[in-house]
Amino acid sequence: MAQAFPYTYYSCDCYDSNTNITSAKRASQQAPIADDEDERTFDPRSPRSNYSLYPLEHLLYCEDCQQIRCHRCVIEETLAWFCPACLFEVPSSLIKADGNRCIRNCFNCPVCMSTMMVNSLDDPTNPSSSGGPYILSCPYCHWSTHEIGIEFEKHTGISQQLSRVANGGRQIPTQKERDKERERLKDAEGRKKDDRDILSGSDDSPTRDRVREDIPPSQEDSFSNLSAFYKTQINAQSPASFSSHDVSFSSPASYARIMNLYSTSSTKKQKREKPVPMREASGVFEGLTIFDPATDAATIERIKKEGWSTTLAPAQKLAQINPNIRFESELRPIPSILCTKRGKRCRSCRHILAKPEAKITSTRYKIKLLALNHIPRLSLRALSTPTSQISASGPSASAPAFDYNALRPGIPTHFLLHLSNPLFDPVRVTLATSSTTPGKVQSRVTILCPQFEVGANTDVWDDALQSSLSPVKRTPALNADGQIEAGKIWDRGRNWTSVVIEVVPGFLKPVTTGFSLGGDDGKKKEDEELDEDEDLLEIPIFVRLEFEADMVEQERGIGDPKRSVEGQREKREEAFWAVVGVGRVAPT
Partner 1 sequence: MSAQLTPHTSASAPDRRTSTIQKRTSMLPRPASIVLDDSVLIAQHAQLTGSYPITAGPNTVLHPHSKISSVMAPVVLGEGVVIYERARIGVASGGDAGGMMMAESASGGRADGTVLGRNVVVETNAVVEAAEVGEGSTVEVGALVGRGCVIGKYCTITAAVVLAPNTHIPDYTVVFAGSQQRIDRTLKDRPEAQLLKTMMHRKQLDIFKKLVPNNAAKWRMG
To partner 1, the closest distance from the beta carbon of 95 in angstroms equals: 32
Binding mask 418-447 for partner 1 (x = CB under 8 A): ------------------------------
Among residues 100 and 128, whose Cβ is nearest to partner 1?
128
- Residue 385 binds partner 1, judged by CB under 8 A: no
- Residue 306 binds partner 1, judged by CB under 8 A: no
Among residues 331 and 447, whose Cβ is nearest to partner 1?
331
Percentages helix, strand, coil for the chain (3-state, rounded to 5) are: 30, 25, 50
Nearest to 452 by CA among 373, 378, 560, 526: 378
Residue 555's alpha-carbon distances to 83, 260, 551, in angstroms, are: 42, 52, 11
Site for partner 1 in 220-279 (CB under 8 A): none
- Residue 167 binds partner 1, judged by CB under 8 A: no
To partner 1, the closest distance from the beta carbon of 87 in angstroms equals: 24
- Residue 67 binds partner 1, judged by CB under 8 A: no
Rounded Cα gap, residues 265 and 288, in angstroms: 40
Segment contacting partner 1 (CB under 8 A): 39-47, 143-151, 210-218, 542-550? Answer: 143-151
Give one DSSP letter per residue of 106-175, joined into a string. Answer: -EE-TTT-PBPEEEE---TTS--TT-S-EEEE-TTT--BGGGGT--BSSSS-HHHHHHHB-TTSPBPP-H
- Residue 307 binds partner 1, judged by CB under 8 A: no
Q: Are the beta carbons of 461 and 383 closer than 8 angstroms?
A: no
Rounded Cα gap, residues 477 and 240, in angstroms: 85
Segment contacting partner 1 (CB under 8 A): 81-89, 124-132, 217-225, 379-387? Answer: 124-132
Binder to partner 1 among 144, 316, 336, 497 (CB under 8 A)? 144
- Residue 146 binds partner 1, judged by CB under 8 A: yes
Pairing of strands 365-368, 352-356: antiparallel
Among residues 143 and 490, whose Cβ is nearest to partner 1?
143
- Residue 466 binds partner 1, judged by CB under 8 A: no
- Residue 395 binds partner 1, judged by CB under 8 A: no
484 strand-pairing partners = 478
Nearest to 109 by CA among 146, 72, 79: 146
In the DSSP assignment, the letter for residue 517 is: -
Applying CB under 8 A, the site for partner 1 has a residue count of 17
Binder to partner 1 among 147, 189, 357, 550 (CB under 8 A)? 147
To partner 1, the closest distance from the beta carbon of 123 in angstroms equals: 5
How buried is 475 (Cβ within 10 angstroms: 0-12 exposed, 13-18 middle, 19+ buried)? middle
- Residue 132 binds partner 1, judged by CB under 8 A: yes
Among residues 162 and 500, whose Cβ is nearest to partner 1?
162
Q: Are the beta carbons of 546 and 530 closer than 8 angstroms?
A: no
Among residues 142 and 210, whose Cβ is nearest to partner 1?
142
- Residue 185 binds partner 1, judged by CB under 8 A: no
Rounded Cα gap, residues 489 and 498, in angstroms: 6
How buried is 62 (Cβ within 10 angstroms: 0-12 exposed, 13-18 middle, 19+ buried)? buried
Q: Are the beta carbons of 356 and 150 closer than 8 angstroms?
A: no
Residue 479's alpha-carbon distances to 11, 447, 474, in angstroms, are: 35, 17, 11
Site for partner 1 in 90-119 (CB under 8 A): 111-112
Site for partner 1 in 485-524 (CB under 8 A): none
- Residue 331 binds partner 1, judged by CB under 8 A: no
- Applying CB under 8 A, the residues found at the interface with partner 1 are 111-112, 121-125, 132, 135, 137, 140-144, 146-147
